[in-house]
Chain A
Amino acid sequence: MNRLAALAAPRQDYSYAFLDAYAKRELRRRTLKAIAIPGYQVPYASRELPIARGWGTGGLQVTLSLVGPESIVKVIDQGADDSVNAANLRRFIARMSGAQTTTDALKATIIQSRHRIPEEILREYQALVLQVPDPEPLRAVESNSSRAHEMHAEADYGQMWLVLYEQLVRYKQYIQGASYPSLVNGRYVISPSPIPRWDTPKLHQSAHLTLLSAGREKRLYAVPPYTDVYPLEFDDIPFQVEDQRGWVCAITGVKNKFMNEIPQPDGTSTYELSDTGYMEKVAPADATRTEPPGATYYDEQGNFYHDGYLKPPIQPEL
């Protein structure tokens, strides 16, 4: 009757959502501090996961600390739901949590992303989890992370401005590509993760919560909802998003959304929407499952939804 096996709990290889209770509590404590101090990089322990480091383990840890059986999870890489690494992360999250998955940005409660923010305007109580390779916007001017940390403490961003100034002197324009450094809540400069400049304004006064997590570098930071985020720019030379005016998606005919450029054998290019979840709504593969797209951050003419936030480009005088 009283056999030992009957007294023992059934063998359980993993905790719910993989992380054990200690790891979850630690991440949750750090997440709360990150939200309370917008843009400040909170150090955390960062557990090893069964996914290679540098492949989204930072974002994955945050997602695993949020996810529950009723969650609806979307995972994208470069905007694509079906990119191999996104598919792998989504499979792991679902397997460890029982959460539903979706490609619809508006249906998701948690969106984990590498390098993109969806085109449709995210709403309140959605959590966008961005995977971050390098959380330190000052890395290019200060490779020593302890010294960079002190520069943040002192809000000493002079060297960042100097870099931008040098770009203007040399090239007549900013030549920072993705990960455009941005000032959060008027205090901390962050790397918004390697999202294109097209996506950076979407962080400003957003309805949703953005959590950014670097697993390898063990830093976690947040842009809370309704928080000011401004790309670094001089008053007279405005920050500019990628110039894709005139690019038309070959599949949907859509314009003024972020596009992938596809080189053609004849030397030309075609274009297609980077956001595959949005593409699915605009041109559904299965005509019976039509879901109208929601409002987008950029309208059909390319106007950003916060009027006046993006200034018209100033062409350098030739």
Chain B
Amino acid sequence: MYVAAKGGEEAIQQAEKLYHHLNGEVTREQVEAIRDHLPYLVDRVMGEASLYAPDLAALAIAQSGGDLYEAVLLLRAYRSTQPRIAYAAPVTPDELLTVRRISASFKDIPGGQILGPTLDYSHRVLKMDVLDTLNPPTSLQNGHYHEASEETGLTPADRPAPRAYPAVADWQRAQGLMAASPKHESVDPADIPDVTSDTVLFPAPREHRLQALARADTGGVLALGYASMRGYGLIHPTVNELRLGYAEIMAKHPVTGAQFSAGRARVSQAEVVTSDGSKAGLSIGFAATLGWNEVKIIAASTLDLEMNQPEPHPAHTEEFVMYHTEPVESSGFCIHFKLPHYVTFASSVDNIRKVIATFYSSESKLQPERAEAQS
């Protein structure tokens, strides 16, 4: 029973047990398999949760049976119990250990177009032989990195790739096609607005906007971004630069003061540009997130550009985008409609009965002011 006179507590415990019975218990091996074999899924959850923790993200995915909104909530709820113990040094694109960097703006760019790991040009054909129990393919062992070899089919490059690549926008700025970067002043990291602990007010500081896009729901950002791209937007975005790479997270030791690396995080960033014909040249939209998630950052950087327009479509205002792409809030509110609402419903029924008594009872000669539709 849904609202039992005495059974509520017992009912919710049994319901949770039933879930585990149906879906099985989570094991360490499963979590490791998710972490190693589903890196893009783990990345997506870490990005939306704003917590870089592959093991915990994999655990959240396993524990929620792959329900991504549940997984993100699990990770976020954990995150909110963790104190901030230090501020990492800023990560700049030209220091990123870049594995993939492409630009749609030019045929070739300084440093070169680097395709890197991608399925972009693969044929989307299901490899049925994987399911063939008699002749399992040999190349699929585990998700760890394979050395370039005959077995993986990878050909080693003639020379090692450069450690870093210049930004495409730097060339455009030098050409006068784009306004110069704002003067880079060092800021106290404690002064940087933080969307996870500040109250969000509009117009939002740029930091809040970029942080909100970084942790936004991938599907939500895509839906709104796609609406802009498809024609409701005021801009035509060109992908100026898309990068996937590893960011070295540098922090200062709290006691010795020495800089040290706290590890590397997979990150992605995108930059789209458009021109409104003004003297300033190209204007730029930017987004970055934890993990590799290309769809999200292309859509998000388009939205960033769109939100800067003077009179954007109502679905592309900063308030609209930031509120409605929040994965935990939107999914939580959506499923809250499962909760009983019979008190509010009773209040509405009371009004319906009064209106019926007023206009539609046998004694009433009144008609509602606005006639019902003719159909």
Contacts and interface: CB of A to CB of B under 8 A. Distances in A.
Contacts of B342: 78, 260
A115 interface: yes
A242 to B, nearest CB: 4
Contacts of B368: 170-171
A290 interface: no
A120 interface: no
A267 to B, nearest CB: 15
Nearest to A176: B351
B332 A242 contact: no
B146 interface: no
B12 A18 contact: no
Interface in B336-375: 336, 339-344, 346-351, 353-355, 358-359, 361, 363-366, 368-370
Contact of A196 (B74, B203, B343, B366): B343
A178 B8 contact: no
A78 B2 CA distance: 12
Nearest to B353: A243
Interface stretch (A3-11, A80-88, A181-189): A80-88
Nearest to B344: A178
B213 interface: no
Main secondary structure of the interface of A (DSSP, over half): loop
A54 B329 CA distance: 7
Interface stretch (B193-201, B251-259, B261-269): B193-201
Interface string A280-318: 000001000000000000000000000000000000101
B8 A84 contact: yes
B20 to A, nearest CB: 16
B121 interface: no
A45 interface: yes
A77 B340 contact: yes
Interface in A21-68: 22-23, 26, 43-45, 47-50, 52-55, 57
Contacts of B200: 43, 218
For A55, A87, A176, A260, the residue with the greatest tally of chain B CB atoms inside 10 Å of its CB is A87
B145 interface: no
A279 B197 CA distance: 42
B4 interface: yes
A52 B76 CA distance: 11
B319 interface: yes
B348 A177 contact: yes
Interface residues of B, number: 62
Contact of B366 (A43, A53, A318): A318
A53 B333 contact: yes
A48 B11 CA distance: 25
Given A54-B332, A146-B319, A318-B364, A15 B81 contact: yes
Contacts of B370: 170
B301 to A, nearest CB: 24
B347 A196 contact: yes
Contacts of A244: 350
B27 interface: no
A244 B354 CA distance: 12
B236 interface: no
A195 B344 CA distance: 7
Interface of A: 13-15, 18, 20, 22-23, 26, 43-45, 47-50, 52-55, 57, 77-88, 91, 114-116, 133, 144-146, 169-173, 175-179, 194-197, 216, 218, 242-244, 258, 260-261, 274, 276, 285, 316, 318
Which 10 A/B pairs are nearest by Cβ-Cβ distance?
A53-B332, A54-B336, A87-B8, A82-B8, A43-B199, A177-B347, A54-B333, A178-B344, A177-B348, A54-B332
25 contacts: A18-B81, A23-B80, A45-B198, A48-B80, A50-B74, A52-B73, A52-B331, A77-B340, A81-B8, A82-B8, A115-B341, A133-B333, A146-B201, A146-B202, A171-B358, A173-B355, A177-B350, A178-B348, A194-B343, A194-B344, A196-B343, A244-B350, A316-B358, A318-B358, A318-B364
